[in-house]
Homo-oligomer: A and B are copies of this chain.
Amino acid sequence: MKRKICVVVTARPSYSRIKTALLAIKNHPNLQLQLVLAASALLDRYGNATKFIEEDGFEITAKVFNVLEGENLTAAAKTTGIGILELSSVFDNIKPDIVVTIADRFETIATAIAASYMNIPLAHIQGGEVTGNIDEKVRHSITKLADYHFVASEGAYERVIRLGENPEMVFNTGCPSIDLAHHVKLQGELDFDPITKYGGVGGNPDIRNGYWVVMQHPVTTEVGSSRKHIEETLYAMMELNQPVFWFWPNVDAGADGTSTGIRSFREKNNLENFHFFKNMKPNDFLKLLNNCKGLVGNSSVGIRECAYLGVPVINIGSRQNKRERGNNVWDVTYDRNQIRNAAVQIDESARPESSNVYGGGEAGKIIAQQLSELPLIFHKTIAY
């Protein structure tokens, strides 16, 4: 009988990050994939991932609606509570052999608690990283609940071991998101028109001389400043006066501050060089990145995939503070001048070298193989 591997995806970006692992699990002769979609991954206003996932040929085993609306931290806590209630029912129904949770978004701990409290072996992807924000509490807390760890870099590997995990259960597989980047790098050119293919709203800039991509999320510990922070980036890019493809932020306490800031800025300014997207197929998004002048914002894509692709990144603020990085990153604060100056510098510099710091393009397959072979355990003790 095949092992049932239940992967819980709670946000669109997590899906892209994990896609090659999903594919490898689905295609593995000894594994059966149970894909559960939850939280903002299901919501239109944060870029519902359902369609992309189905187009990629995956079947969705269960959908869990658990986002409690309300722009505040209490709602984030309650969303997590509801997530546990709902996910434990799902696990009861589909009886997975292993549950997989991804990274460090606040609601992923619901997956970890439901699985570990129900004595289901738990695998965690992308533990051990350092970012210096609330995500870090969540991430390391999940590490201490998880039985298997698939980490993305050497530094992460060492940290998970230092956190007291059994070294036999920790694997530096690289990040599955790099697998996609690897594929995209081989493909090269931007072979589609983003606006024609994805709609979105805003101007229709001429991108023949290049374009920028912006993706900036609110930072949980800086909720009150979300709007001010996004405005600095908006001003910087408006003043730069070059084509911009802008992506809406994830749901998070503070997302409404960011979204409202963008919406209000659009009403008041003439942004003909800006076009806004909610979502893009992961592969297309990476192609868009691979061919852009640079990525602006605080997405981890800038630190990971862009390192592998050798795409310049203007990394704003504290969100990626402590992540290992390649040579492709320009770090700046929430300041329109710093942002614009970095863009000007990048425009004048050569493209950075590619880096393998987050993996070499085979993470999905390695993870699937491990999931098929690892002993089924849900009982552990600290290793010191």
Given contacts A130-B381, A382-B159, contact A67 B65 (CB under 8 A): no
Chain A positions within 8 Å of B, measured between CB atoms, are: 42-45, 62-63, 65-78, 80-86, 88-93, 106, 109-110, 113-114, 116-119, 130-134, 136-137, 140-145, 159, 162-164, 201, 221, 256, 260, 267, 321-322, 378-382, 384
B384 touches A162 (CB 8 A): yes
Contacts of A131 in B (CB 8 A): 381
Measured in the bound complex, the distance between the Cα atoms of B137 and A71 in whole Å is 31
Number of copies of this chain that the complex holds: 4
B82 touches A88 (CB 8 A): no
B73 touches A119 (CB 8 A): yes
B70 touches A68 (CB 8 A): no
> What is the CB-to-nearest-CB distance from A168 to chain B, in angstroms, rounded to a whole number?
17
Closest to A322 in B: B381
A159 touches B69 (CB 8 A): no
Closest to A86 in B: B89
Measured in the bound complex, the distance between the Cα atoms of B160 and A144 in whole Å is 12
Measured in the bound complex, the distance between the Cα atoms of B76 and A93 in whole Å is 16
Give the contacting residue for A80; candidates B117, B162, B267; CB below 8 A.
B117
Measured in the bound complex, the distance between the Cα atoms of B137 and A80 in whole Å is 18
Contacts of A133 in B (CB 8 A): 379
Measured in the bound complex, the distance between the Cα atoms of B381 and A321 in whole Å is 10
Closest to A117 in B: B77
Contacts of A118 in B (CB 8 A): 73-74, 76-77
Closest to A94 in B: B93
Most chain B Cβ neighbours within 10 Å, of A132, A143, A381: A381
Contacts of A69 in B (CB 8 A): 43, 65, 67-69
Give the interface SS of chain A, mostly helix, strand, loop or mixed.
helix
Measured in the bound complex, the distance between the Cα atoms of B129 and A265 in whole Å is 44
Contacts of A74 in B (CB 8 A): 65, 88-89, 91-92, 118
Contacts of A63 in B (CB 8 A): 92
Contacts of A380 in B (CB 8 A): 136-137
Contacts of A132 in B (CB 8 A): 379, 381
Most chain B Cβ neighbours within 10 Å, of A66, A68, A71, A322: A68
Give the contacting residue for A77; candidates B80, B93, B114, B163; CB below 8 A.
B114
B78 touches A88 (CB 8 A): yes
Closest 9 A/B residue pairs (Cβ):
A81-B84, A65-B70, A140-B144, A77-B117, A77-B88, A81-B85, A141-B144, A132-B381, A67-B69
Measured in the bound complex, the distance between the Cα atoms of B79 and A85 in whole Å is 8
Given contacts A85-B78, A106-B117, contact A382 B65 (CB under 8 A): no
Most chain B Cβ neighbours within 10 Å, of A74, A221, A321: A74
> What is the CB-to-nearest-CB distance from A54 to chain B, in angstroms, rounded to a whole number?
17
Give the contacting residue for A81; candidates B70, B88, B378; CB below 8 A.
B88
Give the contacting residue for A65; candidates B68, B134, B137, B201; CB below 8 A.
B68
> What is the CB-to-nearest-CB distance from A182 to chain B, in angstroms, rounded to a whole number?
29
Closest to A266 in B: B201
Measured in the bound complex, the distance between the Cα atoms of B130 and A322 in whole Å is 30
Give the contacting residue for A72; candidates B65, B67, B78, B140; CB below 8 A.
B65
Give the contacting residue for A78; candidates B84, B221, B382; CB below 8 A.
B84
Measured in the bound complex, the distance between the Cα atoms of B66 and A131 in whole Å is 31
Given contacts A84-B84, A133-B379, A144-B141, contact A66 B65 (CB under 8 A): no
Closest to A155 in B: B384
> What is the CB-to-nearest-CB distance from A72 to chain B, in angstroms, rounded to a whole number?
7
